[in-house]
């Protein structure tokens, strides 16, 4: 377990998303992600594969930055890692890594492009990234499609880990459509903002879909920061406590059609 104090340089909402690639990352932040890497490795050791989704209960929890940093720290351990931007509604990984987004996961699943045409190799050593591509009209259907299942099965033979950034679970069902193909879900909670009820709703949604909760990552932790209420007992209950001080996921507004899925 690791708890990181908030770094003021990382909390500017208007700044670019900060990652472990930045030169001014505080040592405790780096160490927290190394601890998280170790626990992820143990959590996946008995699973059917090493493909997992990173999600959150609600928007603005920091899940996309956490997903990027998990992929980076896994790659820094000499593992061959693929990061997929599976948030086909509000993608950000192309901005995190400064990549073009004209083609990506959406055009691959639809059959418009091949994997070789959309993957960005070695954004850092050992890390490949697949951006979202154009936002499709049917994100949930795409992620739950047979094409997506076949893609993940094929890619699992070529990568040590596959990390998928997915939309918030309590807002849309996208992450849940992947559960048959992945080892589990890592939930991101924002310290001082996430609520017990929201997290419990996400966990129950995962369980009811016969999925596996790999753990909970608590980010934006402040050493001096006041009470966390019942959420302390919650995160200790599930045995995971990690922290960092990066910016938040931007405000999320689901499409009107998504309400039918809720």
Q: Is residue 113 part of a domain?
A: yes
Q: Is residue 253 part of a domain?
A: no
Q: Is residue 256 part of a domain?
A: no
pLDDT tens-place string over residues 74-99: 999 999 999 999 999 999 999 999 99
Q: How would you list the strands of the sheet with 81-85, edge to edge?
A: 120-124, 127-130, 81-85, 161-165, 51-56, 184-190, 213-219
- Give the structural domain span for 141: 8-247
Q: Specify the pLDDT at position 8.
A: 45
Q: Is residue 259 part of a domain?
A: no
Three-class SS of residue 92?
coil
Given pLDDT bands bounded at 50, 70 and 90, which one contains residue 70? very high
Round the average pLDDT of the chain to a whole number and report it: 82
Q: Is residue 1 part of a domain?
A: no
Q: Is residue 254 part of a domain?
A: no
Number of domains in the chain: 1
**Contact residues for 23 (Cβ-Cβ < 8 A; gap 6+):** none
Burial degree of 229 (CB within 10 A; 0-12, 13-18, 19+): exposed
Least confident of 25-29, 57-61, 219-223, 231-235: 231-235
Given pLDDT bands bounded at 50, 70 and 90, which one contains residue 21? confident
Q: Is residue 63 part of a domain?
A: yes
Which CATH number covers residue 177? 3.40.50.300
Output the pTM of the full model: 0.82
Q: Is residue 260 part of a domain?
A: no
Pick from 143, 173, 142: nearest CA to 255: 173
């Amino acid at each position: 377990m690791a708890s990181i104090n908030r770094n003021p340089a990382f909390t500017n909402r208007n700044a670019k998303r900060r990652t472990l690639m930045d030169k001014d990352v505080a040592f405790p932040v780096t160490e927290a992600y190394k601890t998280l890497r170790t626990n992820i490795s143990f959590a996946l050791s008995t699973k059917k594969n090493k493909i997992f989704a990173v999600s959150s209960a609600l928007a603005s929890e920091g899940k996309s930055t956490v997903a990027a940093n998990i992929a980076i720290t896994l790659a820094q351990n000499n593992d061959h890692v693929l990061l997929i931007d599976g948030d086909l509604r509000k993608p950000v990984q192309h901005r995190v890594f400064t990549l073009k987004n004209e083609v990506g996961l959406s055009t691959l699943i639809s059959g418009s492009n091949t994997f070789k045409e959309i993957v960005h190799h070695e954004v850092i050593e050992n890390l490949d990234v697949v951006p979202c591509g154009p936002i499709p009209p049917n994100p949930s259907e795409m992620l739950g499609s047979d094409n997506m299942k076949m893609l993940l099965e094929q890619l699992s033979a070529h990568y040590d880990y596959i990390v998928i950034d997915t939309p918030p679970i309590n807002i849309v069902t996208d992450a849940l459509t992947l559960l048959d193909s992945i080892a589990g879900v890592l939930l991101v909670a924002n310290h001082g903002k996430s609520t017990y009820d929201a997290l419990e709703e996400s966990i129950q949604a995962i369980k009811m879909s016969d999925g596996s909760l790999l753990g909970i990552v608590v980010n934006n932790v402040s050493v001096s920061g006041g009470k966390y209420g019942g959420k302390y007992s919650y995160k200790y209950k599930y045995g995971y406590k990690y922290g960092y001080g990066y910016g938040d996921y931007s405000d999320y507004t689901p499409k009107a059609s998504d309400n039918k899925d809720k």
